[in-house]
């Protein structure tokens, strides 16, 4: 029987075998290209997605392990904050806006995973200190070296989200 998987607020009947890694289901079956293949070994973070609001590595997660979870990819992040209607109108999640405002990305390959990790952090700790941000982001690699701007962008998103009293969501 096909696995049913909740991704970005929609339930999908998955045709891939249950042991298939979530990353391949997202990219190849659901056409969600935000999560990237970097190492395939849970060591770089490029494939990160949210599972019930917390970051997981989709390259080492069999799809059968998350069939009861609510998965959010970078494509679904705006709706977790603004709701579906505003997200469809193009409103970005505060993390995405801060990433633009701080001109974080260079090649961009790692950045989807970085924002997912940041969303996971702000879900559990809405006002992290710089030390907490560094510690939390430690498992994500950026070969372009954008780390300082990432820290600034997370601080900015944290300020914006705290001032509106909203959470980064992503548990929906």
DSSP assignment letter at 15: -
CB of 124 to ligand FES, least distance (A): 20
Taking the complex as a whole, how short is the minimal distance between the CB of residue 30 and ligand FES, in angstroms? 17
Task: Pick the closer one to ligand FES by CB: 51 or 79.
Answer: 51
Nearer to ligand FES, 93 or 140 (CB): 140
User: CA–CA separation, 141 vs 150, rounded Å?
Assistant: 12
Cβ-based nearer residue to ligand FES, 49 or 170: 49
Report the alpha-carbon distance of residue 32 to residue 14 in Å, rounded: 14
Nearer to ligand FES, 75 or 112 (CB): 112
Residues that bind ligand FES (CB under 6 A): 37-40, 42-47, 57, 59, 105-111, 142-144, 146
Closest contact distance (angstroms) between CB of 144 and ligand FES is 3
Q: Do the Cβ atoms of 26 and 49 come closer than 8 Å?
A: yes
Among residues 120, 115, 113, the alpha carbon closest in space to that of 94 is found at 115
CB contact set of 33 (below 8 Å; sequence gap of 6+): 27
* Alpha-carbon span 153 to 39, nearest angstrom: 25
Q: How far is the CB of 61 from ligand FES (least distance, A)?
A: 9
């Amino acid at each position: 029987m096909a696995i049913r998987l909740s991704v970005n607020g929609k339930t999908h009947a998955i045709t891939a075998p249950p042991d298939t890694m979530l990353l391949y289901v997202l990219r190849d079956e659901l056409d969600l290209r935000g999560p990237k293949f970097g190492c395939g070994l849970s060591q770089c973070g490029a494939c990160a997605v949210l599972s019930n609001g917390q970051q997981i590595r989709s390259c080492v997660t069999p799809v059968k392990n998350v069939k009861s979870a609510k998965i959010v990819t970078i494509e679904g992040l705006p709706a977790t904050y603004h709701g579906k209607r505003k997200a469809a109108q193009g409103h970005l999640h505060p993390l995405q806006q801060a990433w633009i405002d701080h001109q974080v990305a260079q090649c961009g390959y790692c950045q989807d995973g970085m924002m997912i990790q940041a969303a996971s952090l702000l879900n559990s700790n809405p006002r992290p200190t710089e030390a907490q941000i560094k510690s939390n982001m430690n498992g994500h690699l950026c070969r372009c070296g954008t780390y300082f701007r990432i820290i600034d962008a997370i601080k900015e998103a944290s300020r914006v989200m705290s001032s509106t009293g909203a959470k980064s969501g992503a548990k929906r």
